[in-house]
């Protein structure tokens, strides 16, 4: 996940949303969580 985290941080647009199911990104703060679904906003990472 660490490699994916770095890649996404570098490549996603500022207005993008990243959704992860079951796994969280350790250094990102989720905008919303519901059970094991995590929503991240790229302008906050």
Domain boundary assignment for the chain? 2-44
Give the DSSP H or E segment for 4: helix 2-11
pLDDT of amino acid 1: 83
Give the pair of three-digit tokens for residue 13.
Answer: 């647009």
Tell me the pLDDT tens digit for each residue of 1-45: 899 999 999 999 999 999 999 899 999 999 999 999 999 999 988
Q: Can you read off the two tokens belonging to residue 38?
A: 């995590």
CA distance 9 to 23: 16
- Report which of 34, 3, 9, 12 is spatially closest to residue 21, judged by C-alpha positions: 34
Task: Report the pLDDT value the prediction gives residue 44, as an integer from 0 to 100.
Answer: 84
What per-residue confidence (pLDDT) applies to 15?
92
């Amino acid at each position: 996940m660490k490699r994916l985290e770095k890649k996404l941080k570098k490549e996603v647009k500022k207005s993008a949303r990243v959704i992860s199911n079951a796994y969280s990104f350790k250094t990102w703060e989720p905008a919303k969580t519901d059970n094991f679904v995590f929503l991240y906003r790229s302008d906050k990472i």
